[in-house]
Amino acid sequence: MSKCTSVSESVWKDIQSTNSVTDDQLSVLHFLFGKNLERATRIVDQRGVKRISGEPSGRSIFQLLKMSWWWAGAIGAAKKKFEEDEAPIKHQSVALVIGVTGIVGNSLAEILPLADTPGGPWKVYGVARRPQPSWSDDNPIQYIRCDISDHEDAQAKLSPLTDITHIFYVTWTNRSTEAENCEANGKMFQNVLDAVIPNCPNLKHICLQTGGKHYVGPFESFGKIKPHDPPFHEDLPRLDCPNFYYTLEDILFAEVEKKEGLTWSVHRPGVIFGFSPFSMMNLVGTLCVYAAICKHEGVPLRFTGSKVAWDGYSDCSDADLIAEHQIWAAVDPYARNEAFNISNGDVFKWKHFWRVLAEQFGVEYGEFEEGQNLTLQEMMKDKGKVWDEIVQENGLTPTKLEDVGVWWFADLILGIPESVLNTMNKSKEHGFLGFRNSKNSFISWIDKVKAYKIVP
């Protein structure tokens, strides 16, 4: 039983014992049932319960809410209605995770199979182009190696999976121009939908992950077009430039129109903190590799980014939180057919996190250097042999520097010319209360990179 369901039962028992409900208890129901206070009030009124002012009987609202932070908070209450005289419905959902070895795909593969994940029990198919990596062996998923850019391979591997109920699309590919990105990524997504939708009569929902470039434009347009002013909200219009995120959304909208009852959600994270050694946007892993090389060579951890990144406010998106957000949207009717930002809900400065990174690796902390023209891509271009030494001396998982160090991406994030911030208001208004402490998130993912022996 999820924590959310436990809390709702506890509140109902308090209400039933007196046949009355306090304003604070009603607020708890507001959190748990999600959409708005009017809905919680309507549920109470339908049951003939009196409303009174005062404290909740038995325990305070704060205790009740603390109990709910995991599923009612972290997963934002992907909620099952509690009905006094009805047993919980037993059912199974079947997830297809496209990009299962990526940062968010890896989190989905860990969270979906858990016994108390909302919408479950879940059966999980995980799809990726690479062979299954050793660090994902423990995830109880059915791993499918498939090149979704190949229409025939996608048809051969995915069309036999006729029991899929939910698609989680969390992958992408990078090309030299955005026009090529639109073509390549659109083809991949279309190949998946062409193989799955006609063959899965019980398909209910498609989660599509895009990101913050929805508001600032593709990499090639940085500095060339004016982005929206932050904080970014979901109703901002599209920018007047090619963007493969827009291409994917258009494909999604067109396909769901063809199947009655099929719903969708779009998820727009910011910079993702997570674990995936081979991801093209693996910022935490890349910074860990950089810190390990600095430690090995006995040099300070120099900051190579902009003054804006150093002193300005940034936000980020924890990979587990993104996975929880997608699961919430997949099973909660109040989240259907909507686009949502997903970030941790707080802000940070890189000058603080740079010290955290240095402390985690026992390396000298470097300050921002005014007027410097450093890039990690330039600094790390000849460090392949150094990395080989580090791997061998510390008995690490065998990797090559080009696989675990995504220097161009780290330079891009640390070199931002202006702050990029999202608002989470829409998700909260629809019932998702999840959050993360970004400093704790940063440290926990550093620990995971170490635990899997990617860095010493």
CA geometry: angle at 220 spanning 214 and 224, to 5°? 85
The residues, any chain, with a CB within 8 Å of residue 428's CB and separated by 6 or more, are: none
Count the neighbouring beta carbons within 10 Å of the beta carbon of residue 107: 24
Place of tokens 């258009």: 250
- Would you call 453 exposed, middle or buried from its count of C-beta atoms within 10 A (0-12, 13-18, 19+)? middle
Q: Is 245 among the residues known to form the active site?
A: yes
- Token readout for 122 is 């879940």
Q: Is 215 among the residues known to form the active site?
A: no
Q: Which residues pair with 267 in a beta bridge?
A: 209, 340
The two beta strands, 93-98 and 122-128, are parallel
Q: Which of 143, 215, 245, 290 is catalytic?
A: 245
Contact call for residues 314 and 386 (beta carbons, < 8 A):
no
Nearest to 328 by CA among 7, 140, 70: 70
Q: Which of 213, 295, 383, 448 is catalytic?
A: 213
Catalytically active residues, by annotation:
213, 245
